[in-house]
Amino acid sequence: MNWKLIILLAAFLSGIFLAGAKDQSVLFAYSFANSTYTERTIDFSSLLFKVSTDRDAACRYDTEKGISYENMDGRFDLTSGKLHEKTFTDLGDGIYKYYVRCKDNISEGAELETAVMVNSLVTSHIVLGEDEPIRDGRYEITLVTSKIVSQAPSLTYSFDGVVYEPLPLTGSEKNWKGYLIIPKSFGEGVVSFKFKANDLEGREGSEIISGGAYLVDTAKPRTISSITATGYKGEIKLEWYLDESDIEEYKIYRSTSQNLGGTDFYMAIAESPFHDTAVDDGETYYYRVAGVDEAGNEADLSLEVYATALLSNRTSSSGLDSRLVGKVDNFLKELDLTASSVDSIKNSVSLKEGKEKELFEKLDLAKEIDGAVSELNALKKDAEKYKLQDLSEEELGNKMSSLEVKLSIIKKKVPESLVVLVEDSVEEKIESQEIGEAILEINPDVTGKVRDKSIKESLRIADSSGLKVESFFYVVEVVYMEGTKKKVSIVKREISSKLGEIEWSGEGDFIEIIPKEIAESASEIDIRNANHQVVKEDPILSFGADSKEIFYSLGKEISPASLKNIGFVFISMDETAESDITGYFIFESGLGNYAGIFAGAAVIAVLLVYLLYLRKSRGSEQFLQISHKIRESRGFLKRGETEKAREGYLFIKNSYSGLDKREKKRAYRKINKLHKKLGGKNGL
């Protein structure tokens, strides 16, 4: 029996009993001095009979009057102290008399005569006529009441224990019938019932004595994925593995032709392996197997395997024993089927259009498919090599198990489709407050003067270049070949500007400040841009000013509303606000922990004076010439004038050695970017 279903049923029954539990107890006061008579009336067939004494005592009871304490047959379930209890069940309607005597340490008390009149409310038993768990289909419900009822009982049913639907009944007096339909899509769970009926006195009863809930299982068992057929002389051994606890039997399908179906049923057996001895030597047989659970649900047929009943069991002089070749062949067939499925997926993806195809490619899912093809080819080569090796059955089994594990891993990595679940977009606005907050987030020690200059310069460049940024946020679901699903959240920003056509230092970046609730560290983020840096692991990211698109993803579901909370700004430094380390104080502080350099306004002032000194020197003039050539060369590249851009780069390269150490650091990043755009690698 499926333990999950048993637990569900227990939970439902507990809820039913708790909801239906009522006070069925009666209490009688006992007098040691005087014989008394007391009557009570109850509505239930079960009774908790209670007697209270004014002192510690032991009590007994009998159904005959005038019996002494010692000779009374009835014993209380609990009789010590001042409260004495006895439970009576299955009481029919009528009057029940019980005579009670109690005894303390000194003497026996008087007789208490009690009369309990039982006039129980109507109850019911519900019968489906099927063993549990029940599967999908139409079932006749039989409802039997404990008494004749004044009209048809009310019976409702529920598949979730919350919403109950009416179930019409027909019949008379105590016997009623109806029909319940269990849908095929139900799965595993419990169907529960609620009942109401009035007896001939007009009193309503609602207790279901039995049949208040039934286990339901319409879910198919898992398909057998691990199965082999091995040929011997006079028999074929069929083996499979299925990790499922409630399988009642296995149905075997057999044919001498390929592509077996439901009409090829052969026989049912209890467990693996199966030795098929009804074979002709030299004949090839094809098999498929399906598990059947306790409810009678049959799984989809397994992969088709085949083997040949051998003419003899002789071992060949070299290579794999012929009786073991079938194991390798079965695996190769599975490999071919998997490769065919991967090719179909690849073709399907190539035919997709629009947003889903774009996101599929940007997430590099197509590369996963190409990688799977290469890995499948490598597995096939390994398997074919085993046919040429003299391996024992155990050695081959170990090697094939390893290949099967690798194949299973490959299947789990192949993305089959991508579905956009949620999407949203917004046009970003570069505003002074956000720039200032970002600067402080990156470097809390920055002075107000430097921050204000940076804000002003960033806004100037954004406005002059016509900077526009449109952000798109997606939650997508990637479905893999094995049926597993993974949700991914995506941030994509489309950037348009004319930064290459305006006068500016070139020192600028787009900054992403990721809230902790979205990502704890930068390692959780899959960034597709090559020109990015991790400013802080918190995380804070920077992307080069020449970025036309920013694209990154997170391997979990985050709503677009939350993704909109990611801070996004453009920051550029005014040259008078630059440091003497790299020319961009913010990232040097964030990456290298140089916060002490900017500890006070006095140091900033010294640096500014020093920069003014550099501007007046021969080196500063040369630096400005190089900066001008860089901007000019970028403009040539924008217009497609590559040769002019190369000439500018040669001038820069030849002049670079004339810069002092600090200026080289300031210029290197911009020169290197230009070099890469011209097709070069890192370095001058």
pLDDT digits (tens, 9 = 90+) for 262-276: 999 999 999 999 999
Residue-level pLDDT at 314: 52
Q: What's at 174, amino acid-wise?
A: K
For 434, residues 6+ apart whose C-beta sits below 8 A from its C-beta are 567, 568, 569
Which pLDDT value is given to residue 59? 96
DSSP 575: G
Torsion region of 491: left, alpha or beta (phi above 0 gives left; psi -120 to 50 gives alpha): beta
Q: Is 392 helix (H, G, I), strand (E, B) or coil?
A: coil
Q: Which of 318-327, 441-450, 472-481 has the lowest mean pLDDT?
A: 318-327
Rounded CA-CA distance 613/615 in Å is: 5
pLDDT at residue 682 is higher than 50: no
pLDDT for 181 = 93
DSSP state of 71: T
| Separation of alpha carbons 254 and 305, rounded Å | 10
User: pLDDT tier at 578 (50, 70, 90 boundaries)?
Assistant: very low
Indicate the helix (H) or strand (E) that contains 585: helix 585-592
pLDDT digits (tens, 9 = 90+) for 277-291: 999 887 889 999 999
- Over 90: is that where the pLDDT of 232 sits? no
Weakest mean pLDDT among 46-55, 106-115, 470-479, 628-637: 628-637
Q: What is the per-residue pLDDT for 313? A: 64
Residue bearing tokens 């920003």? 493
Alpha carbon 276 to its chain centroid, in Å, reads 42
Structure tokens at 331: 């695996």
Q: One-letter amino acid identity for 246?
A: D
CA distances for 500 relative to 448, 471, 547, 637, angstroms: 29, 22, 12, 9
CA 156, CA 40: separation in Å to the nearest integer? Answer: 34
% pLDDT > 90, the chain:
53
Task: State residue 500's pLDDT score.
Answer: 80
Look at residue 619 in the predicted model and tell me its pLDDT. Answer: 47
Per-residue pLDDT tens over the stretch 94-122: 999 999 999 999 899 999 999 999 999 99
Q: Are 457 and 436 in contact (CB under 8 A)?
A: no
Mean pLDDT of the chain: 85
The 3 state secondary structure assigned to 329-370 is HHHHHHHHHHHHHHHHHHHHHHHCCHHHHHHHHHCCHHHHHH
Residues with Cβ within 8 Å of residue 575, at least 6 apart in sequence: 505, 611
What SS3 string covers 508-565? EEEEEECCCCCCCCHHHEEECCCCEEEEECCCEEEEECCCCEEEEEECCCCCHHHHCC
Residues 28 and 38: their CA atoms lie apart, in Å, by 7
Cα distances (Å, whole numbers) of residue 43 to 84, 94, 122, 475, 682: 22, 11, 9, 59, 92
pLDDT classification of 402: cutoffs 50, 70, 90: very high
Tokens for 394, please give them.
């155990």
Q: Residue 521: pLDDT above 60? A: yes
What was the pLDDT predicted at 288?
96
pTM of the model: 0.46
Q: Compute the distance between CA of residue 575 and CA of residue 594 in angstroms, rounded to an integer.
A: 19
**Average pLDDT value for residue range 10-23:** 48
pLDDT at 614: 42
pLDDT given for residue 10 in this prediction: 53
Residue of higher predicted confidence among 521 and 625: 521
Measuring CA to CA, which residue among 596, 535, 602, 519 is closest to residue 571?
535
**pLDDT exceeds 90 at position 205:** yes
Question: Which tens digit of pLDDT belongs to each residue from 35-65?
Answer: 999 999 998 888 999 999 999 999 999 999 9
